[in-house]
C-alpha cells in the first residue's frame, strides 16, 4: 500500500521514510515512530493500518544518521544488536527527523503522532517540544519517566503493559502523578511490545483494546470536536 521516499531535516540531514495514503481524501496525518527495530515490516503495517482508517501515515527512519536503511526482526540476537542504537540516544537529532515528518504532511490536515517503545518516548517528547501536533499516543515509552516534568502542548494518551520488565509500575505511577493531564492506561497481564503481532510478547486482547482507545482518541482530537 505504501511507498518509500526521503525527508530532509532542519540540519539538512536526509533520511528515509515510509508513507501510506488512504484511498479517499485524508482526514489528517499520523507520524508513526519506530521501535529500536527500524522502519520494519511491523511499522510499515502500522502505517498501512492507519491509512485504512483514513489518515496519511509517515514513518521516518530515525536510525539513518547512524546506520542507513537499518531494520530487523525480533529474534534474541536481533534485539540485542538493535539495543546499540539507544545506548546513547540523541533525542534532539531524532526530534529533528520527527519534525521533518510532521512538516512533510502538515498540508493534509490535522497531524498526530503515535510511537512504540523508543518511539513512545519520542511521541511524548514531540508533544512537549515540537509544534503542529493535535494529539500524541505513546505505547510503552520507557524513557518518559525521565521527561515527565515536561508539559505537553497537545493531548497525550499512553499505554503500558502491567508485566513490562523494562518499565516498572513504579515508573508508571510517577508518570501518572506528574502528568495527570494525560490519559494513561495499564493492561493487565501485558508485557513490553504487546501491540506487535510479530513478537512473542504480543497480547491480542491488550492490543485490540489499546488500538480502539487510540483511534477513538485520534478521532476526537483530530476532528476538533
Q: What string of pLDDT tens digits covers the 225 residues of the chain?
A: 699 999 999 999 999 999 999 999 999 999 999 999 999 999 999 999 999 999 999 999 999 999 999 999 999 999 999 999 999 999 999 999 999 999 999 999 999 999 999 999 999 999 999 999 999 999 999 999 999 999 999 999 999 999 999 999 999 999 999 999 999 999 999 999 999 999 999 999 999 999 999 999 999 999 854
Q: Cα separation of 172 and 183, whole Å?
A: 12
Phi, psi of 211 (to 5 degrees): -70, -40
Model pTM score: 0.98
- CA–CA gap between residue 67 and residue 169 (Å, rounded): 33
Indicate the DSSP class of residue 168: -
Q: Does residue 192 carry a catalytic annotation?
A: yes
* 117 in active site: yes
Cα atoms in the 13 Å half-sphere on the side-chain side of 89: 16
Domains defined for the chain, CATH in brackets? 3-223 (3.40.50.1820)
Q: What is the dihedral of CA 85, 117, 30, 177, to 10 degrees?
A: -130
Which pLDDT score, from 0 to 100, does residue 224 have? Answer: 55
Q: Which of 97, 164, 195, 196 is catalytic?
A: 164
Can 47 be counted among the known catalytic residues? no
Residue 49: name the closest of 18, 75, 78, 72 by CA.
18
Q: Which residue of the set 42, 99, 117, 196 is catalytic?
A: 117
Using CA atoms, how far residue 175 sits from 75, 83, 117, 171, 216, in Å, is 30, 24, 16, 6, 22
Catalytic residue among 42, 97, 99, 192: 192
Copy the grid coordinates of residue 181: 493531564
Interatomic CA distance for residues 139 and 207, integer angstroms:
10
The pLDDT assigned to 225 comes to 44
Amino acid at each position: 500500500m505504501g511507498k518509500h521516499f526521503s525527508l530532509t531535516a532542519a540540519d539538512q540531514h536526509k533520511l528515509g521514510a515510509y508513507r501510506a495514503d488512504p484511498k479517499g481524501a485524508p482526514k489528517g496525518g499520523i507520524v508513526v515512530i519506530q521501535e529500536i527495530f527500524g522502519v520494519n515490516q511491523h511499522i510499515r503495517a502500522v502505517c498501512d493500518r492507519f491509512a485504512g482508517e483514513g489518515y496519511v501515515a509517515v514513518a521516518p527512519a530515525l536510525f539513518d544518521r547512524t546506520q542507513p536503511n537499518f531494520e530487523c526482526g525480533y529474534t534474541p540476537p536481533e534485539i540485542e544488536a538493535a539495543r546499540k542504537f539507544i545506548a546513547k540516544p540523541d533525542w534532539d537529532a531524532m526530534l529533528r527527523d520527527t519534525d521533518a515528518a510532521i512538516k512533510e504532511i502538515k498540508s493534509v490536515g490535522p497531524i498526530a503522532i503515535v510511537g512504540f517503545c523508543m518511539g513512545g518516548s519520542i511521541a511524548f517528547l514531540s508533544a512537549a517540544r515540537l509544534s503542529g501536533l493535535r494529539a500524541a499516543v505513546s505505547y510503552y515509552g520507557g524513557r518518559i519517566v525521565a521527561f515527565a516534568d515536561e508539559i505537553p502542548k497537545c493531548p497525550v494518551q499512553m499505554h503500558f503493559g502491567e508485566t513490562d520488565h523494562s518499565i516498572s509500575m513504579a515508573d508508571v505511577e510517577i508518570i501518572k502523578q506528574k502528568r495527570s493531564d494525560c490519559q494513561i492506561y495499564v493492561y493487565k497481564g501485558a508485557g513490553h511490545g504487546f501491540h506487535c503481532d510479530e513478537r512473542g510478547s504480543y497480547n491480542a486482547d491488550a492490543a485490540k483494546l489499546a488500538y480502539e482507545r487510540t483511534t477513538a482518541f485520534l478521532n476526537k482530537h483530530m476532528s476538533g470536536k
